[in-house]
Each structure stands twice: as C-alpha cells, then as structure tokens.
Amino acid sequence: MIERVNILFHGIGEPGPHVEADAYQYFIPRDLFVKILDEVAGNEHVRISFDDGFTSDVDIALPELESRGLTATFFPLAGRFGDKGRVSVAGVRELVAAGMRIGSHGMDHVDWRYVDPATRNDEMDRARDMIGQASERSVAEAAIPFGWYDRSVLAALRGYGYRTVYTSDRRRAVPGRWLQPRYSIVAQDTIESVRAKVLAQPSALRRTRDAAAVLYKRLR
C-alpha cells in the first residue's frame, strides 16, 4: 500500500509579541525549515501544509517553496485575515497566484468538539465562504484546529461536504482517503528528529498504537 507523509508547519522564524504564547511552540527556526524542505524536495510521497495563517507563510515559506519547485496547502483562519502577524487577503491571493492550494482552518481557532451549532456553522461553513472569497477559489479541504476531534466533528465536516479533512495525528496517510493525518513540526525538533520520527518508516508496534489512538478519537 502506498503511503504518504503529510508534514505540517505553523510559524517560521521569530513569533513576535503579537503571537499568542501557546503558539510559540509551533514556530521553528528558518534554518530548520530550509533543511526540511531540502530533505523532502523531490520526494513524491511527501505533502506539505501550513496551519493558522501566520505572515511567515508569505514572507518566508512561499519564496523557499518556490525556489525548490515545491507546492503546499495553506489553511488560514478566516476570522483573523489582516490581524497583526496574520496573512491578509492580498497574501492569500499571492499564495494562490504562486500555485499554492488553500483550505479552511475555521474562523477563530477554537475546539470544534465543544461549540454550539451556530458557532460550528461559522467555523465550518461561513469561514469556508470567506476563505473562498479571499482566495477566489472553491475551498474543499479543512484542517481541524489543534487536531482535536471526535465523531461529531467528523460527521459535521462530512455534512458540510468537505472533500478532505486533515488532522495532527502523527501517522502516515493513505492517498485518497477522506481523513489525512499529519506530522506537526515543532520548536524542539531538529533535522535529526524529523528524519527519525517523521520520515523514517514506523515500526509495527508504533503503527498499531497510532491506529488504536485514531480509532478511539473517531468513535468517542
């Protein structure tokens, strides 16, 4: 069975004072980002994505991707377009013009398991419309905030007609499946840890544990 490694980035470089403290752990140094891109360039089984819509998507990630002939999917937050440190509508269109794909990360980065019906509609439907208008593209993919989900979240996403949904389950993905797990790269990572924990083939025991964890989340 062909497997895919979905790699997830958030912020690149220094987060700055405008970034929430709990997001600092997801900002990685630019030199590590460059090393990872060099490591995966030309690997057809690796897919790259970015969550949260930080300005480093356009300022740092985009030129590095373009220089290597790489593409990625970007999942911004509709409710934070143009906020300090966040990508603007113009930035989204710059990504699209460069051949990048755009999906939805919702409106305000909240836990979709515990929202009321009106907020869930804003997060899954209204946000998609806003991102579609910003990108001037149809939005058919979603990335779940925090990677937190249960069966009610998945059922709602299916009901809203999303073609593909991305998580942060740190396991390999099967191309074409509706639910796509990703490996999130975090501040404490090194190129060695990425090679060992993300790009290397997982052991049979690890596969079993990962599959059990995902099954639990999908059924609870």
List pLDDT tens digits, range 148-205.
999 999 999 999 999 999 999 999 999 999 999 999 999 999 999 999 999 999 877 6
Please give the backbone phi and psi of residue 141, each rounded to the nearest 5 degrees, phi first: -125, 145
> What's the CATH superfamily of 5-219?
Glycoside hydrolase/deacetylase (3.20.20.370)
Give yes or no for a contact between 112 and 120, defined as CB atoms under 8 angstroms apart: yes
Residue ranges of domains in the chain: 5-219
HSE-up (13 A, CA, CB side) for residue 184: 20
Average pLDDT, the chain: 94
Q: Where are the beta strands (DSSP E) in 18-115?
A: 27-28, 46-51, 73-75, 101-102
Q: Tell me the per-residue pLDDT of 28-58, one tens digit each, with 9 for 90 and over.
A: 999 999 999 999 999 999 999 999 999 999 9
Number of Cβ within a 10 Å radius of residue 107: 23
Residue 208 has pLDDT above 80, yes or no: no
Give yes or no for a contact between 185 and 9, defined as CB atoms under 8 angstroms apart: yes
Mean of pLDDT values over 126-144: 98
SS3 content of the chain, % helix, strand, coil (to 5): 45, 15, 40
Tokens of 211: 């599959």
